[in-house]
Structure 1
Amino acid sequence: MAALMPAPANSRLLMSGNEAVARAVWEAGGRVAAAYPGTPATEMLETIATYPDVYSEWSVNEKVSLEVALGAAMAGARAFCAMKHVGMNVASDALMTMTLTGVSGGLVIAIADDVGLSSSQNEQDSRYWGRFAHLPIFEPADSQEARDFTLAAFELSERFQVPVILRLTTRVCHVKALVTVGDRRERAGSGFTKDTARWVMVPGNAGRRLPMVFEREAKLRAETEISAFNVFEDGGDRRVGFLTSGPAYMHVREAFPDAPVLKLGFSYPVPFEKVREFASRCERVVVVEEVEPLIETEVRAEGIAVLGKNVLPRMGELVPHVLRPAIARLLGESDTEIEKSAAPAPMPVFPRPPTMCVACPHLGVYYALAQLRNAAISGDIGCYTLGFGQPWNALDTCISMGASMGVAHGWDKGRAESEREKKIVAVIGDSTFLHMGMQGLLDIVYNRGNVTVLILDNRAVGMTGGQNNPGNGRGLHDEPAPRVDFATLVKALGVREERVHVVDPYELPTLFKVLRQETKVAEPSVIITNQPCVLGQDYQPRKAYAVIEEKCTGCGNCVDVGCPAIHVTRRDTVTKANGREVARSFVRIESQACTGCGLCLTPCAPEAIVPAETCAPGCARGMPKQAVVAE
């Protein structure tokens, strides 16, 4: 990814919040940026990678990325780290200690919360990390603030020698708005100063630094009281005033343009005196925050009467059609008024279940897993999570990054005697395995578990856009990088050589054979699939296939592969000689979409699927050329 010439200062650019944060990192003189891909945070590092003078990397997980950024900040450089909300669960071990060490150069940690669960397994409120670790929090409401607050966060970080959390949500990360940008301000790093009392956090040193944390927090609270990012907006209708932060402010302002608002951009520590003054101006105050009642709880503890989650939902975005009815009920307005403020009924749309891509190398894996009998299959985070759905129904759990290993091991050790014959399988992707799966496999081996592990190596972090990782031999900028040999790696973790297999997932007979063989073995085994993501640069499309309609018997076996290029043209019910009715699904292959992986060939009993190039152009029945000539 080559660096581009940044737009000049004072340019007005249409930018997402993620892009605006990246620009601010560059403008602030950032020297090091590290992250692990995760929606909605991914584009921050991808954009930073296009700027000159900033070292950027995809780290193997969020904890490592935060430690890289901390190391740079210890050395006096301005550093940046980005992750989605669940990433901080991984990185929190480092976070909870760096609040004691502090930093030398500025360190900004952007955490992107997926409010509404657009692409996440849970909905967290990352502001609690600021409360937990006693770190300041900035909450931008739009792209311009994302840029401005990031710059301010670097300044505050260096002034107080403290990491600063920039809390974003999907609404800010991905929505674009006009942003006025500035120039880069180069900042020479001060270098690392040896100070074991500060940087070596043994209990004695850590204990001596604890009072500093609370003294610093008191000073930061004084800063929030005078911060220009915490502003009153007066209004004529004082029946309800709104205390809010982040993108929830935008929803409040849209829903109630005439109401008084206290908008907290520098939201933690909470400026209690400013809140108290605001509350005195309004008949009642409603705290509008996504998603947990952090500000509400803090303010109530100070004896300031506010409403919050007792009138508003504790989940999802607090958009205008959620706010208006809630406040209408609070004010005792009629049902008619509440109905007027409700959201319009959504337009009916044809349901589209999530599915994998045409020719995805995971299709064959789940087709094979679906044939396993008496099996428990533990899944993980990635595109392959979709294996839980139709037509495969071949995944039983999905918890968190790398959890497939520990869950499968727990199944094995915790199963009842009557389940001793059950096959235990764990499915994990290449990047996820490197992120947090290696430790789980090591645990299985060390504790003599009986689990068959499938590592689906598609040479990409597929679900977040195909980013590079240590398994595909390229770095963030597409430069050559050492490539992990998964077979060698798992052997080094203790899996016996004869229990390690590398398999082409498009070769279904081989995949079936190896899977049946390894699930019968009472020891850890690993099957590694080796075809790249079809959307990545390593994939080489093959020649497409088509269906000879006259030969198709409607068995539907090819449909069970789950490839979106296979379309059911009609369904019939056939009554067999024994009186049993059998459903038939007749199909065609969308040859323009087909990439020729050949997964549908093996299950096709009548051999009705043939190379599309052998079919007559425009032949509606998709018959081979020679058959058309003979006809």
Structure 2
Amino acid sequence: MAAVMPAPAASRHLMSGNEAVARAVWEAGVKVAAAYPGTPSTEMMEVVSTYPDIYAEWSVNEKVSLEVAIGAAYAGSRAFCCMKHVGMNVASDALMTLTLTGVIGGLVIAIADDVGLSSSQNEQDSRYWGRFAHVPVFEPADSQEAYDMTKLAYELSERFQVPVILRMTTRINHVKALVTVGERVPHVGAGFKKEPGRFVMVPGNAGKRIPLMFQRDIELRAAAESSPLNVIEDGSDKRLGFIASGPAYMHVKEAFPDAPVLKLGFSHPLPFEKCRALAAQVEQVVVVEEVEPLVETELKAQGLKVLGKEILPLQGELSPNVLKPAIARLLGEPEPEKAPFAPMAVFPRPPTMCVACPHLGVYYTLSQVRNINIAGDIGCYTLGAGHPWNALDTCVSMGAAMGVALGMDKGRGTSDKDKRIVAVIGDSTFLHMGMQGLLDMVYNKGSVTVLLLDNRAVGMTGGQDNPGNGRDIHGEEAPRIDFAKLVAALGVKEERIHVVDPYELPVLFKTIREEVKVPDVSVIITNQPCVLIKDYHKLKPYAVIDDKCTGCGNCIDVGCPAIHVTRRGKEVKASGREVDLAFVRIESSVCTGCGLCVQPCAPKAIVHHVPSAPIQFAKEGSCA
């Protein structure tokens, strides 16, 4: 991406939470920023990379990205790292020791929680990491606070020499609001100073750092008590007071504008005395938090009588339409009437792959292969679990396809002792956490066929670059991994490595069918780019000849969304068996000419599209 010109001081811009954080990172004088893409966090690093004066990178996974940021912070420079909530599971190994060493330059770790599960496999609450790692947690409620708190986090980080977690949620990451911004303030690191007793965490040194961590906890709690980020907002209705943070605070203010509220911006360590002060003003206290009852549990342990998850859901966003009925029941009031709503009849739109996606041929082929179990992974290709393919049996976490497939192989039961095992994984996911699983598979003599789908992009999060496509975060040339050589280096035998074009269905089918029969580890690498990146080149589109179409429906089984059913029918075969027919057309305006649908079409009814004759307009001045 090209560098952007910095905005003038004190100017206002419409920014998402991600954009606001990126702006604050630049203004705070950060020198090094690293991340791995993951919705809803991705745009933070994408925007950071457009600012001058910052080294920015897409790392191969979240652990590496945090370690890069740690190194910069050890050298006295300000550093930034961001990830989605499940990314911290990967990075936590580094975090849990970083809490002992601390930092020199400020380090902010932005974690984007996916409350409501818009694009994730779980809804874990990243506030736990503050408790687990003994580090402070900031929780913005809108874009302006995301900007302000990021800058304040660097000040706190350097004051206490501790990383600070900026806990975001999808509601903050992707919603835009007006943000007042300033200018960059340069920050020059002093350089790394050797201090083995602090930075070399062998047991003897680590044991001496633990008391310092606990002492820091006490000091951080005092800082939270006095922080202007934690404020009691008075209200006239004293029946209930609320304790809330982040988007939950905004929902409370919308639903109960007259109630006193303790707004937590610096939410860990929890300011107990401010919580007691609120409780003294009201008859009852309700803790509104997304999603786990962390604050509620800590306050009850302190002897404070509060309500929380007894009356509120344990999952999802706590929007006003959730809060109002729950509080009405608590107060013994009639629940608010729901506005009459006539649901709009919308044609069902299940998630599917893009037109001409190179994964379509893979899943169409897998759906035709019998007697296999398929371990899947995280990415666009997870959609292979859906209709019409139904060709994915598991999906757990990044890189899990490899280990799960090996476990399926080694843990065969009586019902699947003859099943062949297939693992499906994408290029970026393989580089993120799949290489170790393949090495383990080879080392432990598994019998698994691995489909490594190389589409030259981190597709699910927007087509970001990775080491597999030869471009860095700025789109500039970088070393490109040769996957065939890489898997060979991990121990896969040369004769068991195949590179195939996923649009050539007969070759793909033959290769998969043969390799699943081999009692060894084999890797089939597909080699066509994502259709949404610049590496992909469209071909002449196709169309259906209506008179030739027999309604067999083979083209529909490919799963391309450019193919539409125009009418259905039935046919009785000579055997007496009734067969469903589906007559189709191809939306030529979106067809890219990949040819996947042509190959299974028995009557050869799919041909290159011939545009209709252009409309003839009358010449100027005529009356035609």
State if a TM-score over 0.5 links the two structures.
yes
1:181 is the counterpart of 2:178: no
Give the letter aligned to residue 323 of structure 2: L
Q: Are the counterparts in 2 of residues 325 and 342 from structure 1 also a CA contact under 8 Å?
A: no
In the alignment, structure 1 residue 26 sits paired with structure 2 residue 26: yes
1:293–1:60 CA distance, 2 compared to 1 (3 A): same
Q: Does 1:518 pair with 2:515?
A: yes
- Is residue 35–residue 58 contact of structure 1 (8 Å, CA) maintained in 2? yes
Pair 601,8 (structure 1): closer, same or farther in 2 beyond 3 Å: same
User: What per-residue deviation string (whole Å, max 9, x for no partner) do you get for residues 462-484 of structure 1?
Assistant: 00000000000000000100000
Q: Which residue of 2 aligns with 1:623?
A: none
Q: Residue in 2 aligned with 1:80?
A: 80
- Residue by residue over 1:247-274, the C-alpha shift from the partner in whole angstroms, topping out at 9 and shown as x without a partner, is 1000000000111100000000000001
Deviations 1:294-342 (Å, cap 9, x if unpaired)?
11111111111100000100100000000000000000112xxx14268
> TM-score, normalised to structure 2's length?
0.97
> Letter of the aligned partner of 2:577 in structure 1?
R
Residue type at the aligned position of 2:10: N
Alignment RMSD: 1.2
Unaligned runs of 5+ in 2: 616-624
1:457 maps onto 2:454 in alignment: yes
2:439–2:490 Cα contact (<8 Å) kept: yes
Aligned partners of 2:502, 2:159: CA distance in 1, in Å? 55
User: In the alignment, which of 475, 481, 490 is matched to residue 478 of structure 2?
Assistant: 481
| 3-state SS, counterpart of residue 86 of structure 2 | helix
- Residue 513 of structure 1 deviates from its aligned partner by 0.7
Which residue is 2:622 aligned to? none
1:321–1:343: 8 Å Cα contact kept in structure 2?
Answer: no
Counterpart CA distance in 2 for 1:32 and 1:402 is 27
1:65 paired residue number: 65
Separation (CA, whole Å) in 2 of partners of 1:324 and 1:481: 54
The one-letter code of the counterpart of 2:3 is A
Q: Which of these residues, 408, 412, 433, is aligned with residue 411 of structure 1?
A: 408
Cα distance 1:171–1:45, how it changes in 2: closer, same or farther (>3 A)? same
Hey, what does 1:595 align to over in structure 2?
592
Q: Give the deviation of 1:580 after TM superposition.
A: 1.8
Q: After the TM superposition, which residues 104-183 of structure 1 pair with which residues of structure 2 at under 5 Å, given as runs?
A: 104-183=104-183
Return 296-305 or 471-480, whichever deviates more. 296-305
Q: For the Cα contact (< 8 Å) 1:240–1:286, is it kept in 2?
A: yes
Q: Which residue of 2 aligns with 1:445?
A: 442
Query: 2:551 — aligned with what?
Result: 554
**Identity of counterpart residues, as a percentage?**
74
Counterpart residue type for residue 98 of structure 2:
M
Distance 1:81 1:466 in 2: 20
Equivalent pair of 1:392/1:562 in contact (CA under 8 Å): yes
Q: 1:234 to 1:324 in 2, by over 3 A?
A: same
Go from structure 1 to structure 2 and tell me whether the alpha carbon gap of 1:104 and 1:346 turns closer, same or farther (over 3 Å shift): farther
* 1:235-384 matched pairs, under 5 angstroms: 235-334=235-334, 338-340=335-337, 347-384=344-381
* Residue pair 2:324, 2:336 contacting (<8 A) in 1 also: no
State the Cα deviation string for residues 508-564 of structure 1 (Å, max 9, x = none).
Answer: 000011001100100000000000000001001011111111000000000000001
Candidates 538, 563, 567, aligned match of 2:564: 567
The one-letter amino acid of 1:212's match is L
| Helix, strand or coil at the partner of 1:57 | strand
Query: 1:9: how far off?
Result: 1.0
Which position in structure 2 is the counterpart of 1:388?
385
- 1:325–1:341: 8 Å Cα contact kept in structure 2? no
Partner AA of 1:436 in structure 2: M
1:57/1:481 CA distance change after superposition, 3 Å: same
Preserved CA contact (<8 Å) 1:468 1:474: yes
Q: 1:242 to 1:136 in 2, by over 3 A?
A: same
C-alpha distance in structure 2 between counterparts of 1:345 and 1:423, whole Å: 49
* Partner in structure 1 of residue 207 of structure 2: 207
How far apart, in 1, do the equivalents of 2:554 and 2:313 lie? 46
Report if the CA contact (8 A) 2:127-2:167 is conserved.
yes
Rounded to whole Å, the distance in 2 between the matches of 1:321 and 1:342 is 11
Number of matched residues? Answer: 615
Deviates more, 1:568-577 or 1:12-21: 568-577
Which position in structure 2 is the counterpart of 1:544?
Answer: 541
Q: Quote the Cα distance in structure 1 between the aligned partners of 2:463 and 2:3.
A: 19
Instruction: Name the SS for the 1:187 alignment partner.
Output: coil
Task: Report if the CA contact (8 A) 1:66-1:94 is conserved.
Answer: yes
**2: CA distance, partners of 1:469 / 1:575:** 52
Partner amino acid, structure 1, of 2:606? I
Give the counterpart letter for 1:296 in structure 2. E
Alignment-derived partner of residue 431 in structure 1: 428
Q: Which letter maps to 1:71?
A: G
- Residue 345 of structure 1, CA deviation: 6.6
Q: Which digits, 9 at most, give the CA deviation of each residue in 1:138-177, with x for residues without a partner?
A: 0000000000000000000000000000000000000000
Give 1:99's aligned amino acid.
Answer: T
What's the offset of the Cα at 1:618? 8.5
Contact map agreement 1:84 1:112 (CA 8 A) in 2: yes
Give the match's secondary structure for 1:95.
helix
Matches of 1:465 and 1:343, distance apart in 2: 38
Aligned residue identity for 1:112: A
Q: Deviations over 1:12-41 (max 9, x none)?
A: 000000000000000000000000000000
Separation in 2, partners of 1:464, 1:483: 20
Q: Gaps spanning 5+ residues in structure 1: where? A: 620-631
- Measure the CA separation in 1 of the matches of 2:5 and 2:92: 35
Secondary structure class of the residue paired with 1:177 = strand
Q: What SS class does the counterpart of residue 23 from structure 1 fall into?
A: helix
Pair 1:35-2:32 in alignment: no
The corresponding residue for 1:577 is 574
Superposed displacement of residue 382, structure 1: 0.3
TM-superposed CA distance for 1:579, in Å, is 2.3
Per the alignment, residue 96 of structure 1 pairs with 96
Shift of 1:132: 0.4
Write the distance in 1 (CA, Å) between the matches of 2:340 and 2:89: 35
Deviations 1:440-469 (A, max 9, x none): 000000000000000000000000000000
Q: What is the rounded CA distance, in whole Å, between the counterparts of 1:348 and 1:552 in structure 2?
A: 31
**Gap change, CA 1:618 and 1:519, over 3 Å in 2:** farther
- CA deviation after TM superposition for structure 1 residue 344, in Å: 5.4
AA of the residue aligned to 1:514: T
Match of 1:627 in 2: none
Contact 2:34 2:59 in 1 (8 A): yes
Letter in 2 for 1:444: M
How many Å apart are 1:224 and its aligned residue? 0.6
1:598 and 1:75, CA in 2 relative to 1: closer, same or farther beyond 3 A? same
Aligned runs of 1:9-24 on 2, under 5 Å?
9-24=9-24
Supply the AA of the counterpart residue of 2:45. L
Show CA shifts across 1:62-115 (max 9, x none). Answer: 000000000000000000000000000000000000000000000000000000
Maintained 8 Å contact 1:431/1:460: yes
Partner of 1:626: none
Structure 1: which 4+ aligned runs deviate by more than 6 Å?
Answer: none
